[in-house]
Chains A and B, each alone.
Chain A
Amino acid sequence: MAYSPLLEARGLTKRYGDTVALDALDLGVNSGEVYCLLGANGAGKSTAINCFLDFVRPDTGSALIGGSVVADDPIGTKQRLAYIPETVMLYGNLSAVENLEYFATLATGTRPARPDLLKHLITAGLTEVQADQRVGGFSKGMRQKVGIAIALAKGADVLLLDEPTSGLDPKASNEFHGLLGMLRAHGAAVLMATHDLFRAKESGTRVGIMKRGRKVAELRTDEIGHADLEQLYLQHMHD
């Protein structure tokens, strides 16, 4: 198979005054891969993800999705991606279906039928009753499920996840990663920032460790054990 990463960072650099948030970051994520970004607070993980969303414009370097430079075609490149931040914030006054309808319409330009929307929500793990409740009262786990449903509804094959499971209980976290596995199996490329070494090892295919905006290590998860990953991580944090 030819090397054609769906997600690619080429020398991404971003400075905020004196802080270097990203320092010539290179990485690529292929279809069917889950790439986990590890690193201390402030290492630049979110900044990297935001570059793929055009939320942040890199000073130099570029972020590419499916071979297109994000900054050149911010709208086109969003066609196929889904974004799930730490908490998927939704319109509290609207029900889950209505929220999904809104975002799916925004994403695809056509209004999906209700049965389709329901199907996605149920696939994402919500019940039919919950689907019609206002999301104002939703727990974090339920919100993340709606986020997955959005990705499903728009048929995204690029997923950008920024600490999507932090604060979820183990069961919810497990469910979430199950869904991720499913998406990956369908050929999605997933870039996920996380602090959860265990999950990174479990559901990631590759991990990258960041420090002060630089990628200091990158390895395949099947090459390393749980304990070794933690060891490696801490070692990088200490130097």
Chain B
Amino acid sequence: MSFLTMLRFEWRVLRRERLLWVAVVFFGALGLYAASSGARFTAQQRLTIAELEQAHAQRRDSLGQLLGRLHAGDTSRRVSAFADPRSPAVVGRGLGAPYTILPPAALAPLAIGQRDVQPFWAQASTRTKQTFFVNDEIENPAVLVSGRLDLAFVILVVYPLIILALTFDAVAGERERGTLAIVLAQPVDPRRVLGAKLAARALLALALALGLTFVAVLLTGVSLGDPDTWLRLALWCAVIVVYGAFWFGISMAVNAARMSAAASAVSLLAAWLGVVVVLPAVAAAVVTVTHPSPSRIALTTRLREATDAASAKREDAMASFLLDHPAYIADASGGAPDPNVVSMALQDAAERVMAPEYAAFDAALDAQRDAAASFRFLSPALVTQAALLDLAGAGEARFRAYERQFDTYHAEWRDFFFSRTLSRRSLSPTDWDAIPMFRFAEESASALWRRLAPGLGMTLLLAMALAALGRRGLTAAAQAR
């Protein structure tokens, strides 16, 4: 009798179980709701981005026109010093500045991750990064506490529960109901029959999770034009398969352990708790204790102290700044120093003091992230979470890439405006067209793959080991009546 026929029979039995339909409906409804929740969040981000881009385009146009008029010598309108598009210092601080946007990735509706607390846009400015590179999006914290409901969460937490609920008594239940004896009185390999029973149930859960992904992709308007999106989608499905295989393996091992249905339910639940709750909790606790988040409060205080110190020794700050920028002295000999240059000098002095603090802050944050990343191997749930977030573009790596690209851009931006402020060049329309723009560069699929592979490999190995263990045990389980 072919495996397929056994699956078909198993499906016939399953189909008539109420529990199955309850599980299917619950899982499906929850998954769809989660997908719509992710889609709504992403739409909100996209809306914000569209608003930003539109606002910037308008501002840029009107300032560009003003600049054109001023440049042509039109003096009919007085322009406040704080709104003068010719001043590199003013524009550099953010007048009509473009936005550095981290756009939601193609599969963004599938996972929210940290996107709701990390910055996804900032307006370019010569100011110190730490003072403005934060997420100030409005969100009721009481709502954030509950945690986000997205498809990644459903797959991470609920999908294993569904697999376990469907498979926990595949063997023990039959034994307790007495049907197992009749089945095993037939001339078939018990491992194949029991394997088929388990597989039918696990495949069902898998089909549900995959189906949910596809429905979510279709409903949330993920555009499938890009082959890269297809690749990511394929990987997403692979993650679901591998994670499902892991849980299937656990279920097989427990089913093989000849327990009563109730005991096997309790054991599987314990496994779920261990993998989804306890191990991640241990990982988080260890990371939190060994690599606590650096304090932004302390940083803010230190920055203020540094700024105060610089202002108190304004002349010193100015002198050392001019020493570093001799070009300016030659130019400014005689006249009172440009207040913009003074403020540059003060910022420079404060940042010099703060540079090691910022470096330490970033290093602490990076160390925390690295620690969290390596601790993910503690639990397949963490590995899977990282993989799902990565694929949906809500992962740590993508945000870090954004930060790095932002840093590069920020330096470029400062350079552009500081050099012009120093050389006292007012901005011309050509300068305006040359203002650096930010465009987030996505990482290559191969880099993504390299990051996912170890975790997926580990989970798959675990799954296979568990399944092998289960296979061995199933023969024994078959004997017990």
The answer to whether A and B touch in the complex, with CB atoms under 8 Å apart, is: yes
Q: How far is the CA of A89 from the CA of B480 in the complex (A)?
A: 16
Q: Give me 6 A-to-B residue pairs in the complex whose CB atoms sit less than 8 angstroms apart, sorted by A's number.
A: A55-B181, A56-B479, A90-B182, A94-B13, A98-B12, A106-B188
A79 on interface, CB distance cutoff 8 Å: yes
Q: Is the CB of A89 within 8 A of B179?
A: yes
Q: How far is the CA of A109 from the CA of B188 in the complex (A)?
A: 9
Contact B182 A150 (CB under 8 A): yes
Specify which chain B residues have a CB less than 8 angstroms from the CB of A154 in the assembled complex.
Answer: 186
What 0/1 pattern do residues 8 to 42 of B give for CB contact below 8 A with A?
Answer: 01001100110000000000000000000000000
Q: For the complex formed, measure the closest distance between the CB of A186 and the CB atoms of chain B, giving whole angstroms.
A: 19
Residues from chain B with Cβ under 8 Å of A88 in the complex: 178, 182
| Cα of A57 to Cα of B475 in the assembled complex, Å | 12
How many A-B contacts are there with CB distance less than 8 Å? 74
What class of interface size applies to chain A in its complex with B? 35 or more
Of B1, B16, B178, B185, which contacts A105 at CB under 8 A? B1
Task: Mark each residue of chain B from 464 to 481: 1 if its CB lies under 8 Å from any CB of chain A, else 0.
Answer: 000000000000000111
B295 within 8 A of A: no
Q: Assess whether A87 is interfacial by the CB under 8 Å rule.
A: yes
**Given A55-B481, A57-B479, A83-B181, are A106 and B1 also a contact pair (CB < 8 Å)?**
yes
In contact, A107 and B179 (Cβ under 8 angstroms): no
A78-B187, A105-B5, A105-B9 known; A93 and B16 CB under 8 Å?
A: yes
Given A89-B178, A94-B13; A109-B185 close (CB under 8 Å) = no
Cα distance A87–B480 in the bound complex, in angstroms: 17
B435 is an interface residue with CB less than 8 A from chain A: no
Q: Which of B181-199 contact A (CB under 8 A)?
A: 181-189, 193
Nearest CB in chain A: distance from B304 CB, A: 72
Q: Does B78 contact A (CB under 8 A)?
A: no
Question: What A residues does B6 contact at CB under 8 A?
Answer: 106
**Interface 1/0s, chain A 86-118, versus B by CB < 8 A?**
011111111000100011011101110000000
Question: Is B183's CB under 8 angstroms from A90's CB?
Answer: no
Q: Is the CB of A103 within 8 A of B183?
A: yes
> 19 other contacts beyond A88-B182, A106-B6, with CB at 8 A cut-off?
A55-B481, A78-B186, A81-B185, A82-B185, A83-B181, A85-B181, A87-B178, A88-B178, A89-B178, A89-B182, A91-B13, A93-B13, A94-B12, A94-B13, A98-B12, A105-B1, A106-B183, A110-B1, A111-B5
- The chain A residue sitting closest to B5, CB to CB, is A105
Q: Is B77 engaged at the interface, CB distance under 8 Å to the other chain?
A: no
Within 8 A of B (CB), among A37-71: 50, 53-57
Q: Could you say which residues of chain A place their CB within 8 Å of the CB of B178?
A: 85, 87-89
- Count of chain B residues with a beta carbon within 8 Å of a chain A beta carbon: 24
Contact indicator B181/A107 (Cβ below 8 Å): no
Contacts of B185 in A (CB 8 A): 53, 78, 81-83, 160
Q: Is the CB of B450 closer than 8 A to any CB of chain A?
A: no
Interface centre among A55, A77, A94, A102 (most CB of B within 10 A): A102
B296 within 8 A of A: no
**CA distance in complex: A126, B481 (Å):** 28
In the complex, the chain B residue whose C-beta lies closest to that of A110 is B1
Tell me which residues from 164 to 184 in chain B have a Cβ below 8 Å from any Cβ of chain A.
Answer: 177-179, 181-184
A83 lies within 8 A of B182 (CB): yes
The verdict on A93 contacting B17 (CB below 8 Å), with A83-B181, A88-B182, A103-B182 known, is yes
A167 within 8 A of B: no
A77–B184 Cα distance when bound, in Å, is 12
Residue in B9, B16, B189, B481 whose beta carbon sits within 8 Å of that of A50 in the complex: B481
**List of A residues within 8 angstroms of B13 by Cβ:** 91, 93-94
